Amino acid sequence: MDLKTFVSLYLEFLKECEQKGWKIEILIEEFGNYLSSIENDEGIEVQFFMELDVENSEKISDTVKQGKLNYGVIRNKGEGDVFAKEVLDAFHQYWSKHSPKRKSFFIYKP
Q: Residue range 11-22: average pLDDT? A: 94
Convert the pLDDT of each residue in 42-71 to its tens digit.
999 999 998 877 777 787 888 777 777 788
Return the pLDDT at 106.
Answer: 47
- pLDDT tier, 12 (very low <50, low <70, confident <90, very high otherwise): very high
Supply the pTM of this predicted model: 0.80
Following DSSP, what letter does each residue of the chain receive, concatenated?
A: -BHHHHHHHHHHHHHHHHHTT-EEEEEEEETTEEEEEEE-TTS-EEEEEEEEEEEEEEE-SSS-EEEEEEEEEEE-TTTTHHHHHHHHHHHHHHHHHH-SS--SEEEE--
